[in-house]
Structure 1
Amino acid sequence: MTSRLATRGLELRYADRIVVRDLDLEIPDHAVTAIVGPNACGKSTLLRGLARLLAPTAGGVTLDGTDIHRIPARTLAKSLGLLPQQPVTPEAITVEALVRLGRHPHQRVFSTWSGADQEAVERALARTGVDALRDRPVDRLSGGQRQRAWIALALAQETDLLLLDEPTTFLDLRHQLDVLDLVAELNADGGRTVVMVLHDLGQAARYADHLVVVHDGALAAAGPPGEVLTAELVERVFDVPCRVVPDPETGTPLVVPLARKASPSSVH
């Protein structure tokens, strides 16, 4: 397994509270990695650390062996794209104008918009299926369409690494699957390395090549879903007794919670 993006002894804090502690991690190249774990365990904080949005208080993050905080911002933006959990849409901006913002790292001072820039935007619009929406205001799109527009912006950056923080949040099941299918296609067709934070363990196991399980800010497990996702791990990390069975559609691990006994106070 090769890895361009890695952490060593990573510690991340908010004020005096340690959120991620002593974390060693290697992100496999040309693969889809899903970061999973209970609420408030440090998943999104870890992604922020990988994206250089949060400075470590110990250890560090490296890209191609170089401390990510020593890489110039414009250079980093040509290698690593980020879709935050709840991106703020500029008021009244159209889909195409939003996607064009992805070309900012490739622009020089006083440079003009080039044919190569427009080609990158056209590819991103087509790849995400929002080319027909290019003139629509982003704030008037459905949740699934809006998420695709933001992914198109990240694609227009033409980075090899794409980080997605809970890309399916607030979407219904159909649009969740649309976004995850798109992620899988981006990886399969272009070999792009994708790291995404997910809540749904079944979706993580189905769409990811590599799982990173975080518990109380530490690494609980990492590896292929079929090796990592066990009933013992789910009960230890999520406090949910379960069975792990093969998904009848894909054969990937599927978590089936055990029935809970009703408490005396809930029986009438």
Structure 2
Amino acid sequence: MPLLAAHALTLRYGGRPVVDGLDVALPEGKVTAIVGPNGCGKSTLLRGLSRLLAPAAGQVTLDGEDVQRLPAKALARRLGLLPQQPTAPEAVTVEGLVRLGRYPHQGMLGGWSPADQAAVERALELTGTGGLRDRLVDELSGGQRQRAWIALALAQETDLLLLDEPTTFLDLRHQLEVLDIVARLQAESGRTVAMVLHDLGQAARYADHLVVLTAGAVAAEGAPAEVLTAELVEEVFGVPCVVLPDPETATPLIVPRARRSRSVAAP
């Protein structure tokens, strides 16, 4: 499995460092959740790892190779990215969108192969979007649209998949559907997945490995049960809490302490 790693990585926006001297490696064949307070550099880190943002210092390597030196098409055959707010071409169907994931595998002479179609069918099946193949992407609900974009990323058939806030703007049911797809993908194929999440309970439930960021640096990383302590949550997020075992999964469940008492009127 490929190893994606950042080495003394500094990423800037407008001259201001957002990620500063960061070292991190994605565990191979595992799901990593990148968490932290707003503005700490989570999405910026993912953009740096995927080469959408060039380093101001340091480097990102894929199997020891500097990703800045890899040809774009070669990188796209090894690393898939679902950005935070992707934009679909106008009037494209779900199947048409998913077929775009095969672009990195097309040769100079083009030609749609049975292997290309098989990859599209697998991606549609895994994400449950086969019944939507002829629908226009613009007409889909938020959850359906997100699954279609994930199908595009899966059709690339990369061993590495990066997802930037894949549950944003989705209701709870659709959040869980998306995260279940990620879990099934990793379990069936052993792919390396990294995703930016806001919900610590979901991160603990679905990820094998957590990277906790604060102010552009790594505050902690490791297995959720080792990382998510009441002390860390209060230090990084400023939220006093207790950490309990999730009654369904036994993974860490964050319960914020009440900020004020509430009286409940008698019926």
Q: Provide the TM-score with structure 2 as the length reference.
A: 0.96
Assess if the C-alpha contact under 8 Å between 1:7 and 1:25 holds in 2.
yes
Q: Which residue of 2 aligns with 1:194?
A: 193
Measured after TM superposition, the shift of residue 110 of structure 1 is: 2.5
Q: Which amino acid aligns with 1:94?
A: T
Q: Which residue of 2 aligns with 1:37?
A: 36
Measure, in 2, the Cα distance between the counterparts of 1:10 and 1:111: 37
| Equivalent position SS for 2:24 | strand
Assess if the C-alpha contact under 8 Å between 1:3 and 1:28 holds in 2.
no
Assess if the C-alpha contact under 8 Å between 1:3 and 1:26 holds in 2.
no
Where in structure 1 do 4 or more consecutive aligned residues deviate above 2 Å?
none
The answer on 1:61 being equivalent to 2:60 is yes
Q: Which residue of 2 aligns with 1:19?
A: 18
Q: Which residue of 1 aligns with 2:181?
A: 182
The answer on 1:49 being equivalent to 2:48 is yes
Q: CA deviation digits over 1:155-198, x for unaligned, max 9?
A: 11000000000000000000000000000000000101110000
Matches within 5 A, 1:176-255: 176-255=175-254
Measured after TM superposition, the shift of residue 261 of structure 1 is: 2.9
Aligned length: 261
Q: CA deviation digits over 1:129-158, x for unaligned, max 9?
A: 101110000111111111010000001100
Q: Which residue of 1 aligns with 2:150?
A: 151
Measure, in 1, the Cα distance between the counterparts of 2:48 and 2:207: 21
Assess if the C-alpha contact under 8 Å between 2:19 and 2:217 holds in 1.
yes
Measured after TM superposition, the shift of residue 3 of structure 1 is: 6.5
Q: CA deviation digits over 1:101-142, x for unaligned, max 9?
A: 000000112321111111111111111110111000011111
The answer on 1:6 being equivalent to 2:5 is yes
Measured after TM superposition, the shift of residue 91 of structure 1 is: 1.3
Root-mean-square deviation over aligned CA pairs: 1.0
Assess if the C-alpha contact under 8 Å between 1:162 and 1:192 holds in 2.
yes
Assess if the C-alpha contact under 8 Å between 1:160 and 1:192 holds in 2.
yes
Q: CA deviation digits over 1:242-268, x for unaligned, max 9?
A: 001100110000000000037xxxxxx
Identity value in percent: 72
Q: Provide the TM-score with structure 1 as the length reference.
A: 0.96
